[in-house]
């Protein structure tokens, strides 16, 4: 010691910006995010893919090959916007006659979560208004919390939804139109068109977050908002109001951390500036792996296994729910995605209070409060059906029924 006084560190929680941020988080989130680490607990809370569907051997072979063939791309820093070849491949994949896309329309991101973060950095002012589909993806709430935004909860699944009123005055609109997280619902075609028209007529940016679009178990997919918003002008790349976000997390594997934004070149340039201050560039290794995987048609190769696995798990879960939970909860069987959203029949049932009973019974689900910026929506739960084997799902439902009974007994 040279005699220099050592001050105790300033407490982080006392920093006004951090304290304001922390005050809007929900303790319940921390509880259910830790569920995967508790031995014996059946985790139906997270939104995780089935690890059995990851194409391990194919990815291992691709990774070995790209490291040897493209050492500079894989091991060096790369362009902030992403590898040009990957951007071109993604532009071609999503292009159509009505939606002409160029490299300038595409930004490669480190998973869809980064897209949400960058959009917040670019579009959101402190306290700004977000018109967000309600209930709202927890990760989006988390990404935008540092700006302490105001949420206008838009009920886009309700009959009579007024898209112009919803978007007017907002800094951006946010929707997960395909098998939303958390509700698993599909936004109908008229509502999609209404949102897009409202984005044009009000001049509001509209974020289309689409990680689940290919997880379609029954019926046919609906057009993307970005396709509906295209107003093709000869020789011009897309310059409409939709900011489309996709990811390989549910189509191949989340550990790759590869996603993309497709939007007007002006928006891509702004998001690129934000990305520079965030991570400089997405991993060159996983970009090269993603490019080779896309070129080899790996998404199309694994899709039948993913769809068959998840369709069966959904059916098993819903059958077990019908057997054990029908007296307590109402739900719709989702036609795609990863979740069943179940609402308590008893308006007085508080699903935050159900959580400790569920954990004691050995199962975890996500309570609705975490999908509401105000935390007040406490009557529903989100149940994931993709992660666990069918028999585990059925056992999880039996445990949930026990938890509901134990909670009821406590309430008297
Ligand atoms: C609606 C939604 N958006 C974005 C993400 C982020 O996905 P990733 O960062 O893995 O691409 C998820 C993940 O579950 C999600 O459900």
Does the pLDDT value for residue 184 go beyond 60?
yes
Domain ends where: 296, 312, 334?
Answer: 296
How far is ligand 1, taken at its centre, from the CA of residue 170, in Å? 23
Domain shared by 170 and 116, yes or no: yes
Cα–Cα distance for residue pair 165/29, rounded to 1 Å: 31
3-state secondary structure (DSSP) of residue 44: coil
Predicted local confidence at residue 179, as pLDDT: 97
Contact 339, 47 (CB under 8 A): yes
| CATH number, domain containing residue 334 | 3.90.1150.10
How far is ligand 1, taken at its centre, from the CA of residue 242, in Å? 18
Mean pLDDT of the chain: 94
How far is ligand 1, taken at its centre, from the CA of residue 337, in Å? 12
Cα–Cα distance for residue pair 268/242, rounded to 1 Å: 12
Residue 278 corresponds to which tokens in the numbers above? Answer: 């965030």
Domain shared by 202 and 285, yes or no: yes
Does the pLDDT value for residue 30 go beyond 90?
no
Q: Is 211 in the pocket of ligand 1 (CB under 6 A)?
A: yes
Domain shared by 178 and 321, yes or no: no
Domain shared by 115 and 34, yes or no: no
Cα–Cα distance for residue pair 183/152, rounded to 1 Å: 18
Atom of ligand 1 nearest to the CA of 47: 14
Q: Is residue 220 part of a domain?
A: yes
Q: Is 210 in the pocket of ligand 1 (CB under 6 A)?
A: no
Q: Is 49 in the pocket of ligand 1 (CB under 6 A)?
A: no
Cα–Cα distance for residue pair 72/356, rounded to 1 Å: 51
Query: Residue 177: which domain range?
Result: 56-296
Choose one of 45, 211, 255 to mutate for the ligand 1 pocket test, by most ligand atoms within 8 angstroms of C-beta. Answer: 211
Q: Which residues contact 192 (CB under 8 A, 6 or more apart)?
A: 177, 222, 223, 225, 228
Q: What is the mean pLDDT of residues 310-335?
A: 98
Does the pLDDT value for residue 34 go beyond 90?
no
Domain shared by 62 and 31, yes or no: no
CA proximity to 242, closest of 234, 251, 250, 231? 231
Q: Is residue 4 part of a domain?
A: no
Domain shared by 68 and 184, yes or no: yes
Predicted local confidence at residue 361, as pLDDT: 97
How far is ligand 1, taken at its centre, from the CA of residue 141, in Å? 12
Domain shared by 168 and 291, yes or no: yes
Q: What is the mean pLDDT of residues 397-407?
A: 97
Q: Is 182 in the pocket of ligand 1 (CB under 6 A)?
A: no
Q: Is 177 in the pocket of ligand 1 (CB under 6 A)?
A: no
How far is ligand 1, taken at its centre, from the CA of residue 214, in Å? 14
Domain shared by 306 and 223, yes or no: no
Q: Is residue 255 part of a domain?
A: yes
Q: Is residue 139 part of a domain?
A: yes
Q: Is residue 354 part of a domain?
A: yes
Does the pLDDT value for residue 268 go beyond 80?
yes
Does the pLDDT value for residue 214 go beyond 90?
yes
Q: What is the mean pLDDT of residues 330-354?
A: 97
Q: Is residue 107 part of a domain?
A: yes
Domain ends where: 267, 296, 325?
Answer: 296
Does the pLDDT value for residue 232 go beyond 80?
no
Domain tally for the chain?
2
Domain ends where: 257, 281, 296?
Answer: 296
- Please report, for residues 45, 348, 366, the alpha-carbon distance to residue 380 in angstroms, rounded to integers and kept in the order given: 13, 11, 9
Q: Is 111 in the pocket of ligand 1 (CB under 6 A)?
A: yes
Q: Is residue 10 part of a domain?
A: no
Dihedral sign, CA of 50, 53, 54, 60? positive
Domain shared by 214 and 177, yes or no: yes
Domain shared by 84 and 167, yes or no: yes
Domain shared by 375 and 326, yes or no: yes
Atom of ligand 1 nearest to the CA of 110: 9
Q: Is 372 in the pocket of ligand 1 (CB under 6 A)?
A: no
How far is ligand 1, taken at its centre, from the CA of residue 308, in Å? 21
Taking the CA atoms of residue 160, residue 219, residue 138 and residue 204 in that order, the dihedral angle to the nearest 10 degrees is -50
Does the pLDDT value for residue 345 go beyond 70?
yes
Does the pLDDT value for residue 281 go beyond 90?
yes
Q: Is 136 in the pocket of ligand 1 (CB under 6 A)?
A: no
Confidence tier at 23 by pLDDT (50, 70, 90): confident
| CATH number, domain containing residue 166 | 3.40.640.10
Atom of ligand 1 nearest to the CA of 116: 4
Q: What is the mean pLDDT of residues 363-384?
A: 95
Cα–Cα distance for residue pair 168/148, rounded to 1 Å: 20
Cα–Cα distance for residue pair 234/214, rounded to 1 Å: 30
Confidence tier at 25 by pLDDT (50, 70, 90): confident
Q: Is 113 in the pocket of ligand 1 (CB under 6 A)?
A: yes
Predicted local confidence at residue 52, as pLDDT: 96
Atom of ligand 1 nearest to the CA of 248: 11
Confidence tier at 4 by pLDDT (50, 70, 90): confident
Domain shared by 280 and 324, yes or no: no
- Please report, for residues 93, 103, 257, 289, 336, the alpha-carbon distance to residue 78 in angstroms, rounded to integers and kept in the order given: 22, 16, 16, 14, 36
- pLDDT tens column, 53-112: 999 999 999 999 999 999 999 999 999 999 999 999 999 999 999 999 999 999 999 999
Residue 74 corresponds to which tokens in the numbers above? Answer: 């894989």
Q: Is 388 in the pocket of ligand 1 (CB under 6 A)?
A: no
Choose one of 181, 258, 290 to mutate for the ligand 1 pocket test, by most ligand atoms within 8 angstroms of C-beta. Answer: 181
Predicted local confidence at residue 1, as pLDDT: 57
Q: Is residue 275 part of a domain?
A: yes
Q: Is 386 in the pocket of ligand 1 (CB under 6 A)?
A: no
Choose one of 33, 49, 108, 112 to mutate for the ligand 1 pocket test, by most ligand atoms within 8 angstroms of C-beta. Answer: 112
- pLDDT tens column, 138-161: 999 999 999 999 999 999 988 889
Calculate what percentage of the chain has a pLDDT beyond 90.
85
């Amino acid at each position: 010691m040279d005699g220099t006084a050592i001050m105790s560190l300033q407490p982080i929680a006392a920093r006004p910006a951090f304290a304001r941020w922390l005050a809007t988080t929900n303790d319940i989130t921390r509880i259910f995010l830790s569920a995967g680490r508790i031995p014996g607990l059946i985790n139906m809370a997270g939104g995780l893919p089935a690890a059995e569907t990851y194409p391990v051997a194919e990815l291992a072979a691709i990774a070995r090959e790209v490291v040897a063939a493209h050492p500079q791309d894989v091991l060096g820093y790369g362009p902030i916007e992403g590898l040009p070849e990957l951007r071109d491949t993604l532009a071609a994949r999503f292009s159509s006659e009505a939606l002409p896309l160029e490299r300038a329309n595409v930004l490669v991101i480190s998973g869809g979560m980064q897209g949400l973060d960058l959009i917040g950095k670019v579009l959101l002012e402190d306290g700004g208004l977000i018109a967000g589909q309600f209930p709202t993806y927890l990760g989006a709430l988390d990404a935008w919390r540092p700006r302490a935004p105001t949420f206008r909860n838009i009920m886009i699944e309700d009959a009579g939804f007024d898209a112009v009123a919803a978007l007017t005055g907002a800094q951006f609109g946010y929707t997960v139109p395909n098998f939303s997280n958390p509700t698993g619902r599909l936004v109908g075609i008229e509502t999609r068109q209404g949102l897009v028209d409202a984005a044009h007529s009000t001049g509001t940016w509209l974020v289309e977050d689409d990680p689940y679009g290919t997880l379609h178990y029954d019926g046919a997919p609906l057009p993307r908002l970005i396709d509906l918003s295209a107003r093709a002008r000869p020789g011009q790349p897309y310059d409409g109001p939709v900011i489309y976000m996709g990811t390989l997390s549910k189509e191949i594997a989340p550990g790759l951390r590869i996603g993309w934004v497709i939007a007007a070149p002006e928006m891509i340039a702004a998001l690129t500036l934000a990305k520079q201050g965030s991570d400089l560039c997405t991993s060159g290794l996983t970009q090269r792996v993603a490019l080779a995987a896309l070129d080899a048609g790996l998404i199309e190769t694994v899709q039948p296994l993913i769809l068959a696995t998840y369709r069966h798990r959904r059916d098993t879960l819903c059958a077990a729910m019908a057997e054990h939970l029908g007296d307590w909860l109402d739900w719709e069987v989702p036609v795609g995605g990863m979740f069943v959203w179940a609402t308590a029949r008893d308006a007085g049932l508080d699903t935050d209070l159900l959580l400790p009973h569920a954990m004691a019974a050995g199962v975890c689900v996500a309570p609705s409060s975490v999908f509401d910026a105000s935390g007040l929506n406490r009557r529903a739960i989100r149940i994931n059906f993709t992660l666990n084997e069918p028999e585990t799902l059925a056992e999880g439902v039996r445990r949930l029924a026990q938890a509901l009974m134990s909670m009821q007994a406590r309430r008297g």
